[in-house]
Structure 1
Amino acid sequence: MATRREFDTTILLLVVVLTCFGVVMVYSSSSIMAAKRFNDGFFFLKRQGLYAAAGFLIMAAAMHIDYRFWRRLTLLGLAAAVIFLIAVLIPGVGANVGGASRWLRFPGFSVQPAELAKLAMVFYLAHSLARKKDKLHSFKLGFLPYMLVVGCLLGLLLLQPDLGSAIVIAVVALTMLLVAGARLSYLLSVALMALPVLYLAIMQVDYRRRRILAFLDPWDDPFNTGFQILQSWTAFGLGGLLGKGLGEGQQKLFYLPEAHTDFIFSVVGEELGFIGVLVVTAMFLVFCLRGIRIAQQAPDDYGRHLAFGLTFLIGMGAFINMGVVLGLLPTKGLALPLLSYGGTSLLTTLFAVGVLLNISRQTGEVKA
């Protein structure tokens, strides 16, 4: 007999707190810039607040829809993600910003297909790994098809170009395959073959090469390529142990680029100090641990793969962003889940959390 239990209240509470905190930090980090650019200091606050409200509704709906329902839409979702990734490359359809075509513009809002592609890939792998688990040890029948699908997504992302999202998808896919039982030799072979491609993708493109050099020695060009990370370090240094106080940060005043998106964690460090940084990091860590526990207790293979994939996707996104703003990783242009400004990222993350919470509500078959 199948039994139900309550949703994982720890994850639910963590996500609600992080999202609401994110709305506050978006306002704190963007109000001055928004007032100068849009003559409205509440511009980003109002939009992020609407995204959060819509995201909570989506999360609530996903919490109450059996996660197995989404399995029927797996191929449709994957096809839609591919179509959107192609659409952004079409001149006049995709919005080109800073030399990259990563957004589809609609009246009043925009969509970043890379975020949809990450979700679609996790759902596809969860569905296929559960269905073909006995063939996973076969390179031709079990491993190669996954590489072709993932390779298609990576190719479309690199054409935008969006190397950061491509790396995320590649790492999540290989990790899900490893956890599912794929041969380590297959995974290592793919990783080794990808290294020359990754090297060329970075070192043969000027701005990516300069990012790597800035990561290795930001003081070599402190007013250009090293500017972001040096300003981020300055923000953390100014924050000290307890921070300067919410809203009192100085680096967001046109010193720290992308303060409300990619580098919002730096604003947290300056305004709330080491304690604030530690609390936010701990919350994401607890989220990951609870998510892995949900995966272990899921009632079927599909639920296990899906819960792990969604948890790893969100957790890795968070810790990559933190690593970048702390100077531990090269700049990748990835948002901090739940905190950074951005509608597509927030909505897809809250949907993923809703699905994860639904899995947490399910239990296996037990004897009556």
Structure 2
Amino acid sequence: MTATLSSAEERKRARQDRRKRAGLLTVLTAWLGRPLASFHLVLAVFGLLTVLGLVMVLSASSVVSLDTGPSVYTVFKKQLLFVAIGSVAFWIALRMPLRLMRQFSAPALAVCFAMLVLVLIVGKEFYGARSWFVVGPISFQPIEVAKLALVLWGAYVLVQKKALLHQYRHLLVPLVPVALLMFALVMMQPDLGGTVTLIVVLFALLWFAGAPMRLFGAAAIGGVAGVVVLSLNEGYRLARVLTFLNPEADPSGKGLQGLQAKYALADGGLFGKGLGQGQSKWEYLPNVHNDFIFALIGEELGFLGCALVLGLFAMLAVVGLRIAARNIDPWIRMVAATLTVWLVGQAAINIAYVVGLLPVTGITLPMISAGGSSIVVTMFVFGILANCARHEPESVAALRSQGPGRFGRLMKLPAPDVYNPPQKRKPVRPSTPPRTAGRREPATRRTGTAERQLHERRRTRRSVPVPEHRRRSARGRTGHPRADEGGRH
């Protein structure tokens, strides 16, 4: 009897648990179905990554700041300044009409090319690359803006040539030659990390434009060949590849960063040593606040902290592709999808070489690593994604009918524009070609013409009134009119 009651109670609890899970799933599905759900998710990911990045930069840069500056907050104050500038950039991208970005994408790309050429002449060299403009205490990398300009302009060109993209010459020209020229300018600095990110952007544009798979296969073969040639061309690149293959060969030299990053991740365990308690930032791991900040996250916050970072970027991937799928403007769809692949791909490359899956390329972790131009441009990109989310058809209808909402009034956001698809031209009816002199028509056409002329003559004769005396004279002895004079039998 007791066993029967216990089994009944277990079944009852199981039913209650299923109802709770179904209720939570129903609530989540209903919330995701709201018009501004994508917009709110972008804001949530943006805010969490910003706060996490500031906290980890403060923890990672304290020792470096004490060695190079008067306070332990030197690097953090600079990062806080760039985050403030990036917040203004986020607001500008959120308010700016997307049609203006589309119209000025070509001039922006031309300005970026001019800056990439100018930085080779007057730029400052850091870490062996001449890729920085330095004005007082502020440094700026033009490659960061060039990536965004390539996305906006490339999407505009591909959308304009949408009907012709099944032909290779229209799919690849002018996008690929322009991208290759940009690759060449960046490699002249040289900046391998910027070139890799540009390749990700180019591949994303071609993928969302519908390029065939064989094109990506050929590009992959060409990319591997290019990596081999570039690695053999420069000694430091060859050293990076050899260190990746065997980091224990030089544990205190070329393999120091890779090995120390793995040690930091291993020391963190599941819950980590605690915020601010990591030992790798005490000059055991060089550039821990820039390229290898993910290793410090694993050391101080443990596996849970790493899982939080991975979960935020996974959410960004889902939300970005959701925004692209729910929009009907083809340019917005391509821009949102490409920007999402850019950010998530850059994060994946950074995390991959920190854990030892890829050679070190010098790519920062978006929104978390310390940086100037990179954090400002990344926050501007988040603003574009949030702006694209507000242009979903359901969001446009809600914002125009119900108002901008509390956040929209606080940020003074204008109502998004309604998408008007381009009008299709109606086919013009071709005119009858003139007859050639001396050329006779076919017999069937001549017969049809003669029949039409005879029918016209008969109709004209029937429509003309016949005088009374003619009708009387036309009557015969029988008193009936003749058929050929318009009478009836």
Same fold (TM over 0.5): yes
In 2: Cα distance, 1:122 partner to 1:16 partner? 24
Aligned equivalent of 1:272: 301
1:7 deviation in Å? 5.9
1:64 pairs with one of 66, 90, 95: 95
Greater CA drift, 70-79 or 173-182:
173-182
Secondary structure of the structure 1 residue equivalent to 2:134: strand
Contact 1:78 1:124 in 2 (8 A): yes
For residues 263-307 of structure 1, give each alpha carbon's deviation from its aligned partner in whole angstroms, at most 9, with x where no partner exists: 111111100001100111111111111000001111210000000
In 1: Cα distance, 2:125 partner to 2:116 partner? 13
Q: Which 5+ residue runs of structure 2 have no aligned equivalent?
A: 1-34, 402-489
Q: Which 5+ residue runs of structure 1 have no aligned equivalent?
A: none
2:235 pairs with one of 206, 210, 226: 206
Q: Does 1:232 align with 2:250?
A: no
1:200 deviation in Å? 0.7
Aligned equivalent of 1:47: 78
Matches within 5 A, 1:76-91: 76-90=107-121
Matching residue's letter, 2:89: I
Contact 2:200 2:342 in 1 (8 A): no
1:64 deviation in Å? 2.2
Greater CA drift, 173-182 or 208-217:
173-182
Aligned equivalent of 1:11: 42
1:6 deviation in Å? 6.6
1:5 deviation in Å? 4.4
Q: Does 1:352 align with 2:381?
A: yes
Matches within 5 A, 1:169-180: 169-180=198-209
1:217 deviation in Å? 1.2
Secondary structure of the structure 1 residue equivalent to 2:120: coil
1:13 deviation in Å? 1.1
Please give the root-mean-square deviation of Cα atoms over the aligned residues, in Å.
1.7
Aligned equivalent of 2:165: 136
TM-score, normalised relative to structure 1: 0.95
Contact 2:200 2:345 in 1 (8 A): no
Aligned equivalent of 1:25: 56
For residues 235-270 of structure 1, give each alpha carbon's deviation from its aligned partner in whole angstroms, at most 9, with x where no partner exists: 111111101110110011001010110011111110
Aligned equivalent of 2:280: 251
In 2: Cα distance, 1:239 partner to 1:140 partner? 52
Contact 1:139 1:186 in 2 (8 A): no
1:140 deviation in Å? 2.0
Contact 2:38 2:323 in 1 (8 A): no
In 1: Cα distance, 2:168 partner to 2:54 partner? 46
Aligned equivalent of 2:218: 189
Greater CA drift, 156-165 or 61-70:
61-70
Aligned equivalent of 2:5: none
In 1: Cα distance, 2:227 partner to 2:389 partner? 37
Contact 1:137 1:183 in 2 (8 A): no
Higher radius of gyration, 1 or 2: 2
For residues 314-335 of structure 1, give each alpha carbon's deviation from its aligned partner in whole angstroms, at most 9, with x where no partner exists: 1111111111111111100011
For residues 95-123 of structure 1, give each alpha carbon's deviation from its aligned partner in whole angstroms, at most 9, with x where no partner exists: 01232101111122011111111111111
Contact 1:300 1:364 in 2 (8 A): no
Q: Does 1:113 align with 2:162?
A: no
In 2: Cα distance, 1:241 partner to 1:6 partner? 33
Matching residue's letter, 1:47: K
1:363 deviation in Å? 2.5
Secondary structure of the structure 1 residue equivalent to 2:303: helix
Aligned equivalent of 1:310: 339
Instruction: Work out the percentage of aligned pairs sharing the same amino acid.
Output: 37
Secondary structure of the structure 2 residue equivalent to 1:349: helix
In 1: Cα distance, 2:309 partner to 2:135 partner? 33
Greater CA drift, 253-262 or 124-133:
124-133
Secondary structure of the structure 2 residue equivalent to 1:327: coil
**Stretches (4+) displaced over 3 A:** 4-7, 364-368
Greater CA drift, 114-123 or 243-252:
114-123
Q: Does 1:301 align with 2:330?
A: yes
Asked which structure has the greater RCO (Cα within 8 Å, sep 6+), the reply is 1
Greater CA drift, 109-118 or 358-367:
358-367
2:362 pairs with one of 333, 341, 348: 333
Contact 1:6 1:361 in 2 (8 A): no
For residues 30-86 of structure 1, give each alpha carbon's deviation from its aligned partner in whole angstroms, at most 9, with x where no partner exists: 111111111221111111111112211221221122222201110111111111111
For residues 136-161 of structure 1, give each alpha carbon's deviation from its aligned partner in whole angstroms, at most 9, with x where no partner exists: 22222331321101101100111011
